[in-house]
């Protein structure tokens, strides 16, 4: 089960998206490994909408609180957060930025 905790998390947090993803992969004849990898992206999106705190998402959900956040999911969330921060900084971020001195 530990290799599929993130798939279970997706099912707990967004059952409709989980079922749609599983159905799409099954219809295309994709293997389980491909589906398992695809489960990460929606979870990263959920984390983005909730302030990137994937640990809090797991800890506050009654069915997920007993599970550790998978390392790969945590790494993907950090990488995406950093990429989002870097791109918003590079594009000006839409705000009035002060110089650091």
Residues of the chain predicted below pLDDT 70: 91-101
The whole model's pTM is what? 0.82
CATH code, domain with 45:
1.10.4180.10
Q: Is residue 12 part of a domain?
A: yes
Report the number of distinct structural domains present in the chain. Answer: 1
Decide if 8 is inside a domain. yes
What pLDDT, on the 0 to 100 scale, is given for residue 91? 66
Query: 43 — phi, psi (to 5°)?
Result: -70, -40
- pLDDT of the residue at 87: 80
- Cβ burial of 58 (10 Å; 0-12, 13-18, 19+) is buried
Model pLDDT, residue 88 = 76
3-state secondary structure of 89: helix
| Structural domain contains residue 72 | yes
Domain containing residue 40 = 2-84
């Amino acid at each position: 089960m530990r290799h599929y905790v993130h798939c279970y998390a997706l099912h707990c947090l967004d059952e409709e998206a989980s079922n749609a993803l599983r159905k799409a992969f099954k219809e295309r004849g994709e293997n389980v490994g491909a589906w398992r990898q695809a489960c990460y992206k929606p979870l990263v999106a959920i984390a983005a909408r909730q302030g990137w705190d994937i640990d809090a998402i797991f800890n506050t959900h009654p069915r997920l609180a007993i599970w550790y956040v998978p390392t790969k999911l945590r790494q993907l969330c950090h990488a995406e957060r950093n990429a989002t921060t870097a791109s918003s900084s590079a594009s000006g971020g839409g705000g009035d930025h002060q110089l650091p001195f």
